């Protein structure tokens, strides 16, 4: 059954609504697949995502996974730019529950141990409000990416997804006719 608001929407609005729904469902499916994969896979995925987002250059020269016993709380390292002028440290948390301030504080402590000022903590779950507030108050630049943002970034940058259809919506160019 079609609701009154759906019946009144334009074809472009319908396409947009359905597109957003498909993306949201794909993001959920991506997170489910990530959670079912081995921990090492997630650490590699985090480095791959940063490279897809334009950090560092190629995988060989720009980023590497570190995650192993004695890694100092760091799962990956990536060059901020192609020249390697600065480094970003990564931590990947494949969790179900909310990531709280103590986990973020431990990551910030790991950054200090490497004399690093930039880090990205990525989780498949969510961050508590206290954790988000904490990163805004510290001197180090730490970015928190939760599961929802992770799925969205993977789709946006074409990581672990493939295009099955593409639609272009066109409208008349009034300027052409007004010349």
Instruction: State pLDDT tens for residues 141-165.
Output: 999 999 999 999 999 999 999 999 9
Q: What is the CATH number of the domain that holds 146?
A: 3.40.1350.10
CA distance from start to end of the chain: 46
Structure tokens at 145: 């990416």
The answer as to whether 178 is a domain residue is: no
Residue 66 pLDDT grade (very low, low, confident, very high; cuts 50, 70, 90) = confident
Report d(CA 80, CA 87) in Å as an integer. 5
Q: Which DSSP helix (H) or strand (E) runs through 52?
A: helix 39-52
Residue 91 · residue 103 · CB < 8 Å:
no
Total number of domains in the chain: 1
The answer as to whether 29 is a domain residue is: yes
Whether the predicted pLDDT of 125 surpasses 90: yes
Report d(CA 119, CA 68) in Å as an integer. 18
Whether the predicted pLDDT of 58 surpasses 80: no
Print the domain residue range for 76.
Answer: 9-156
The percent of residues in the chain predicted with pLDDT above 90, rounded, is 67
Whether the predicted pLDDT of 111 surpasses 90: yes
What sign results for the dihedral spanned by CA atoms 135, 101, 64, 44?
negative
The answer as to whether 4 is a domain residue is: no
The answer as to whether 95 is a domain residue is: yes
Instruction: Name the DSSP letter for residue 34.
Output: H
Name the residue with higher pLDDT: 74 or 83.
74
The answer as to whether 105 is a domain residue is: yes
pLDDT at residue 140, as a whole number: 83
The answer as to whether 151 is a domain residue is: yes
Adjacency order of strands within the sheet including 87-93? 63-65, 76-79, 87-93, 118-123, 141-145
């Amino acid at each position: 059954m079609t609701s009154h608001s759906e019946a009144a929407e334009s074809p472009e609005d319908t396409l947009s609504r359905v597109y957003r729904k498909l993306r949201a469902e794909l993001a959920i499916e991506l997170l489910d697949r990530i959670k079912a994969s081995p921990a090492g896979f997630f650490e590699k995925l985090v480095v791959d995502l940063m490279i897809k987002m334009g950090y560092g250059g190629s995988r060989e020269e720009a980023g590497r996974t570190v995650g192993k016993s004695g890694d100092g709380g760091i799962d990956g390292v990536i060059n901020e730019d192609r020249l390697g002028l600065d480094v970003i440290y990564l931590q990947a948390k494949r969790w179900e529950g909310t990531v709280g301030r103590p986990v973020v504080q431990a990551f910030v402590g790991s950054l200090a141990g490497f004399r690093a000022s930039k880090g990205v903590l990525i989780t498949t779950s969510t961050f508590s409000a206290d954790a988000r507030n904490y990163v805004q108050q510290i001197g180090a630049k730490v970015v928190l990416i939760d599961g929802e943002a992770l799925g969205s970034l993977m789709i946006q940058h074409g990581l672990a997804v493939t295009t099955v259809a593409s639609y272009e919506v066109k409208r008349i160019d009034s300027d052409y006719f007004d010349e």
